[in-house]
Amino acid sequence: MKAKKALKRLTRVETLLSSVIDQYAANGSSLRELLDSAKASVGSAKETVDLKAAPKAAKKPPVKADSSKRRLSAEGRKKISQAAKRRWAIAKRSGVSAVTGRPLNKTA
pLDDT band at residue 103, thresholds of 50, 70 and 90? Answer: confident
Do 3 and 52 contact (CB within 8 A), yes or no?
A: yes
Between 22 and 89, name the one with better pLDDT.
Answer: 89
What's the mean pLDDT when you consider all of the chain? 83
pTM over 0.85: no
Between 53 and 44, name the one with better pLDDT.
Answer: 44
pLDDT tens track for 23-52:
776 666 777 888 888 889 988 888 888 777
Q: What is the distance between the alpha carbons of residues 88 and 104, in angstroms, rounded to a whole number?
A: 12
pLDDT band at residue 55, thresholds of 50, 70 and 90? Answer: low
